[in-house]
Structure formats: C-alpha cells, structure tokens
Structure 1
Amino acid sequence: MFSFFKKKPPAQPAPAAPEAIAPTPPPAAEEPSRAGWLQRLHQGLRKTGSSIAQVFTGTQIDDALYEELEAALLMADAGVKATQYLLDDLKRRVKEAKATDPQAVRALLVDALTELLRPLEKQLTLTDAPPTVMMVVGVNGAGKTTSIGKLTRHLAEGDQKVLLAAADTFRAAAREQLSIWADRAHVEIVSQEGADPAAVTFDAINAGRARGCDVVIADTAGRLPTQLHLMEELKKIKRVIGKAQETAPHEVLLVVDGNTGQ
C-alpha cells in the first residue's frame, strides 16, 4: 500500500549560540608630554651652551681645542662663514692677550661674539610726537601676530598706551587672534570685517591720536615677495600711514623664522 503522506524529516538540533567575543580594548593613549615649549627651549639652549662650554674644560690651548670649538659652533648652527670668522678672530685675540688658560679663551670668545653682534643691536625708540606707528610685516606663518602680542605686552607693562590695528583682513580668524592678544594685554584694537587694510590702518592712527595713545601697531597679512599684487598692497598701506601721520611709519618690523639658515 502506498502512503500519500511524507515522513517528516528528523528534527535538527538547534545550533549552539556563538561564544561571545570580548571586545579588544583600544590602545592606551600616549601620555602627552608635560614639558611645555618654554621648558624645551631652555633645555635646547642649555644643551647648546654646555656643548660649547665643554670645549674649555681642558688644560691646553692647542689645535684640538679649536677643532672641538669649530664642531660645537657648527652644531649650534653658527654657520660655516661665521664659524671661520670667529675662529680666526679668536686666535688673534688669544695671541694678543697671550692667554694660556682655556677659560681665558672662553672669555675672549664671549668678547668676539659680542663685538660681532653689536652692530645689529638697535633700540626701539618712541617718537616725541605720539603716536609712534609700527608696521609689522613678514611671510606667511612667521609669527607676526604672536610677536605683536609679546611686543604689546612689553610696552603696556612699561606704561605705554598701545592701540592695535587689525590690518590683516585676508587670513581667516586673524582679527580674532589679534583681539585675543589685545584682551590679554588690556589694550584697545581697531578692527573692521572685510575692510581695506590701508583704511583700517588709517582709522587706527587717527583713533590712536584722538585717544592719546603712545603706540599704534599695525598687523599686516603674510605675503611672499613674489606675490607682486600683495607687495603693492603693502606699499599702499605704507603710503596711507604716511598720509595719516607725517614721518610714519616710524618702525617697520620684519618678522622672520628663527630657523632660517645661514
């Protein structure tokens, strides 16, 4: 006899539940360095100074001392030309002073370095007919606005009334950054969104004169000398400053990168 009913297949066992896999913990974040930039700067300068100072720990003044000094100066980024000049000048000073002690050579090196850098020394003199107008220029990212903040703080602590001109209307957030520096130094700022840089500087000088300010500092946008249209804009700002106040700008401060090579 035929059966019209199919046999049910045997029940399959329920699949076992997959084992739970514990999630892999994320890698621990590296602990940020606690040393601030100022501490790292001190460490770098201390390392450079100690490497030069170690040259004079010997007991003789010979060729080995000058060779070690040459290597130390080059490692300190003194430059080949400046290093050779210092070595020749130092040997002349040692011969004239008839020095026999390496520590005396160290003192003569300090004198040589001081004499070499003295022509570059220039005091920041304020005009007798305020406000003294300073124009800060430089390439992109050289630190113009930050340098203005430091200079403003220095002048303000010297009881000078400072007014800042936000003439960098090109870079994003340039006005806001300068405003923060103005707040920190407790000085006033002239800022106009989307305005012509020369017009901002002109208004700032007039405002500084009306408010009895001692110094007006104009921040300008960074630019390269190959960008001719921006260089023409810089010339325009300088011309307008001269129209706002005769003999101004009294100082044009060029901010450059400290890592610029020899």
Structure 2
Amino acid sequence: MVSPHAFTARRYLMCAPTYFDVSYVINPWMSEGTTVDRERADAQWHTLVDVYRAHGHTVEEVTPAPGLPDMVFAANGAAVVRGRVLGSRFHAPERQPEAGLFHLWFKEAGFDVREPESVCEGEGDLTPVGDLILAGTGFRTTTSAHHEAQEHFGLPTVGLRLVDPYFYHLDTALFALDDTNVAYYPAAFSPGSQEVLRTLFPDAVIATREDAMAFGLNSVSDGRNVFISPYATALTERLADRGFTPVPVDLSELHKAGGGIKCCTQEIRS
C-alpha cells in the first residue's frame, strides 16, 4: 500500500553522547545518583543516526564537549527556518556554554546566526508547522523570545503555555506530522492553549498521557515516516491508522535525562 503522505528528505544536526551523564537535576526526569550506561546510550544514538540515513536523510554532527552532558540534545542548540538561524540562550546555567558551540558550528557552516536576547531553547520550544511557528513557554523559553522568533523568521508565532513540569519543552508534548498537522497531548497545555490547538489543528492526532510519558511525542516526522519511541504503543497505532509509517527507535538510556528522539535531532531547514 502506498502511503498517502509525502516524504521529504531532511537535513539533521546531531551530537554524539560522548560525555552524556546525569550530573545535575534540571527537570523531573533527572534524579541524583542516576547511573548512566554511556556505551548503551552511544549505541542507541548511533542506531538513530543509521535509521535516519537509511531513510534518505542527511545527518551532520557537531563535536561534543567535556563537561556538557546534555549537549547530545542538539534540538535545543538553535532553530533554523528558511536558512535563518536563531541561536539559543539556555535557562539552566549548566547548559549555557552549549549555545556558543552550536553558534560556532552554524557560523563555520556558512550561516548567519542571530543570538536571542531572552531565554530561548531552540527547537525544544519552537516547532515550525507550515507557515506557522508554534512556540512553547512556561518552563524554559520566554514569551519575549517568541517575539524575537517572529521578527527573525518573518512567520506568525503562536504561543502555547505548558503547565505540566514533565513536559517542560514543547517538543515533549507536541510534534509536527507535516506542514499542516500535529500530534500532541492536550493536558500538557493550559486551557487556552488547548483551545488554540483545537482551532488550528482540528484533525490532530491526540496522544494519551501514557504515550507522552513514554516520549512518544518527542518524535520526528519526515512527512511520511515517524521516528518514535517503541514504548508509545497506542500513539504508534493511531499514526499508522492515519497512513503514517511508524519507525520505532529506542533511546531509553537518554530518557534518564529527559530527552528522546526529537531532543537529539536539530532540523536544518533551508
């Protein structure tokens, strides 16, 4: 059966988990004394890279740096739309040095980078959907950064307030299926933001809390294939029912720090 959804080859920026660890606590998924199997994390991450490439996508890598265990979560390093790059300004002091390293990578790759004046955690809270940018706030990225994104990208920015600390970034509670639709977990958002999402995306794929907690919404879609946590079983079935092709990839070792597939994947949109 031919999928009704159009595939688009993507360009991704990723960072190997060479120094991955849980050495501080900045979200509810982290806890003191957590033991990390770095070899397992590395194997899972490389599987994701291989799966992307096998599906026709380009993967480039930024060099990890010692002392920055969360740099593997490359989605937070910037947001790129129409070849324009908005850098990051991290909320947690522990992650702030990452911003300069991602800035340098984009600069050396030939991009101009605008540095945000406000806290802005890249694609963690900025999700392009067609000619809109959905913008999360409540725990990390500020509403003033939403305005900066709108001015920089020249696209309408729709603010969405997150209210559940387990879903501290937008990309843990929502992802774009294609240029017209999304999947999301309603209770992660304020009542007003839920209403906005219902208005904008009446045909959205709705996830359960169980699937959201399994990092099912921290997924990446190329318009046809959805790279998704294997533990988000109900969401996987719903996506398949809509004609998408779920591609399960296990990043459970990285879940210990509150990140999954999308957190590891920065999309470079030309």
TM-score normalized with structure 1 length: 0.23
Q: Compare CA radii of gyration and give the structure with the larger one.
A: 1
Q: Which has the higher contact order (CA 8 A, sep 6+)?
A: 2
Give the structure with the higher percent strand: 2
Give the structure with the higher percent helix: 1
